[in-house]
């Protein structure tokens, strides 16, 4: 029987319908092609739910055993890619219940939905699936951060320019740059734990919207599904998709940080900079120019951030005017969510591979340091002599201009006499200001680029993800 000839009464909701639906409507309505990824969550939810019905004596002990045996057969079929989908399988819930009826008989299988609606069922499946996906992402994100921290520790002696407005500003440690992004990603990691906590609330037992007619123990169901508690209002339980929005927002923010991380490395890998070189595994060549080595992995990381953001923006538009409780608009939650979870997972893995395999060019990094980057150190020198900073800033600027007028390679090339002409408070030890290592080591306050400060940052980040 084709989908368009299938009588409506064969559907879960078909009792009052006598005619077939438009075949295009069947296709438009179906979500099985993408929500079957939740088969594990759906079967687990049904297993625990039937235990709750058994407590109410709505399902006998013998029936419960048969139901659980049937659910396990279905689980195995999905796992081995042997589950046969049929016309009328609108979604993963319909498909699993239909198959359960084939295995153990429709009479017993027909009891599993007692008091349950697809409204609370799908909300439960989604929360289980998202919770487990986010826990998986948490492990991968932690490994990514640990990879960055390990690299930062091993290459802490390397100096490089720090930039503002993409202009060379002050000398920093390469490890300080690594620590900067490790800090972003650790904040993402901490934020993720909070999202998981809010996701992990049970809607099961809320029914279609008004609650459960048989007084099922919702806390028993929540405990059986490893939820931290129940959602206390049945209307909210079936209609809340804030956890989807928040997951998409979290993924968007993480991808924003990954995109910025990738952009920096793209710039640093250019011939003009030459600070880093990507491994061949994360690069491609040109179809025309044999000399090219393109940072495609980084460009894809940058590009896919827009994909995740688009999913968030689109779903927010889908939900902004939905009236209370469940509406079919909410089915639009799954595709952007599943796509985002996959994209984020792959992006974390690629970013981990990139940062663990790239090589740095210490000589080019340090060769990019120029004496004009120590202009602030020159101002700080006079501050230590008791001159107000606003005044020293102006004096240092005069020194920079004098070096430019004299066409010198840097302010360190000014003679002591020239310094004295600009301001007689300069002393001969002024020349000690022109040392990049000394400059970074002076910045030893919390968060600075001195070796001791960077090591403290790394230890703090390790502690946060431990």
**How do 276-277 and 167-173 pair as beta strands?**
unpaired
Mark whether 433 is an active-site residue.
no
Instruction: Indicate the pLDDT class of residue 5, thresholds 50, 70 and 90.
Output: very low
- Residue 113 has what pLDDT? 95
Taking the whole predicted model, whether its pTM rises above 0.85 is answered as yes
In order of 53, 57, 343, 361, the CA distances from 318 in angstroms are: 35, 41, 21, 48
Instruction: Indicate the pLDDT class of residue 3, thresholds 50, 70 and 90.
Output: very low
In whole angstroms, give the CA distance from residue 149 to residue 151.
5
Q: Give the dihedral sign, CA 355/358/359/365.
A: negative
- Residue 2 has what pLDDT? 40
429-459 pLDDT, tens digit each: 999 889 999 999 999 999 999 999 999 999 9
In whole angstroms, give the CA distance from residue 175 to residue 155.
6
Q: Which two tokens stand for residue 281?
A: 């595994």
20 has a pLDDT exceeding 70:
no
Mark whether 346 is an active-site residue.
no
As to burial, measured by CB atoms within 10 angstroms (0-12 exposed, 13-18 middle, 19+ buried), residue 144 is buried
- Helix residue ranges per DSSP H, 331-388: 334-357, 362-367, 375-383
User: Among residues 154, 286, 415, 452, which one is catalytic?
Assistant: 286
28 has a pLDDT exceeding 80:
no
Spatial contact of 392 and 380, defined as CB atoms under 8 Å apart: yes
30 has a pLDDT exceeding 90:
no
User: Among residues 2, 107, 165, 287, which one is catalytic?
Assistant: 165
Domains plus CATH for the chain?
Answer: 31-109 (1.10.275.10), 118-367 (1.20.200.10), 371-465 (1.10.40.30)
101 has a pLDDT exceeding 90:
yes
């Amino acid at each position: 029987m084709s989908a368009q000839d299938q009588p409506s009464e064969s559907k879960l909701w078909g009792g009052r319908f006598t005619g077939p639906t438009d075949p295009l409507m069947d296709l438009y309505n179906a979500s099985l092609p993408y929500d079957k990824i939740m088969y594990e969550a759906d079967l687990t939810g049904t297993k625990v739910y039937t235990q709750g019905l058994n407590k109410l004596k709505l399902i006998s002990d013998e029936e419960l055993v048969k139901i659980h045996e049937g659910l396990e057969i279905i689980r195995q079929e999905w796992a081995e890619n042997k589950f046969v989908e049929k016309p009328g399988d609108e979604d993963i819930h319909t498909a699993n219940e239909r198959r359960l009826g084939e295995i153990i008989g429709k009479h017993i299988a027909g009891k599993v939905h007692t008091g349950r609606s697809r409204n609370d069922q799908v909300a439960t499946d989604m929360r289980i699936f998202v919770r487990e996906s986010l826990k998986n992402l948490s492990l991968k994100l932690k490994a990514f951060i640990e990879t960055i921290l390990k690299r930062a520790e091993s290459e802490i002696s390397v100096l490089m320019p720090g930039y503002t407005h993409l202009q060379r500003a002050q000398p920093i440690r390469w490890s300080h740059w690594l620590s900067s992004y490790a800090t972003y990603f650790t904040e993402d990691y901490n934020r993720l734990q909070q999202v998981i906590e809010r996701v992990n609330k049970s809607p099961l037992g809320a029914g279609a919207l008004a609650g459960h007619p048989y007084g099922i123990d919702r806390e028993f169901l929540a405990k059986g599904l490893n939820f931290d508690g129940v959602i206390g209002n049945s209307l909210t339980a079936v209609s809340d998709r804030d956890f989807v929005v928040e997951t998409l927002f979290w993924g968007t923010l993480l991808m924003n940080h990954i995109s910025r991380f990738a952009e920096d490395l793209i710039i640093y890998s250019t011939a003009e900079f030459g600070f880093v070189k990507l491994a061949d595994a994360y690069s491609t060549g040109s179809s025309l120019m044999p000399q090219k080595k393109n940072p495609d992995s980084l460009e894809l990381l940058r590009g896919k951030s827009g994909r995740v953001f688009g999913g968030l923006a689109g779903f927010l538009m889908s939900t902004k005017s939905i009236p209370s409780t469940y509406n079919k608009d909410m089915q639009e939650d799954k595709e952007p969510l599943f796509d985002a979870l996959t994209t984020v997972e792959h992006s974390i893995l690629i970013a981990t591979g990139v940062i663990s395999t790239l090589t740095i060019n210490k000589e080019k990094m340090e060769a990019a340091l120029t004496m004009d980057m120590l202009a602030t150190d020159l101002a700080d020198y006079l501050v230590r002599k008791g001159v107000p900073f606003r005044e020293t800033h102006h004096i240092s600027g005069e020194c920079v201009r004098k070096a430019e007028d004299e066409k010198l390679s840097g302010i360190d090339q000014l003679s002591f006499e020239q310094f004295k002409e600009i301001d007689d408070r300069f002393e001969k030890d002024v020349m000690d200001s022109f040392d990049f290592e000394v400059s970074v080591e002076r910045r030893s306050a919390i968060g600075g680029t001195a070796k001791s400060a960077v090591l403290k940052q790394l230890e703090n980040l390790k502690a946060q993800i431990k």
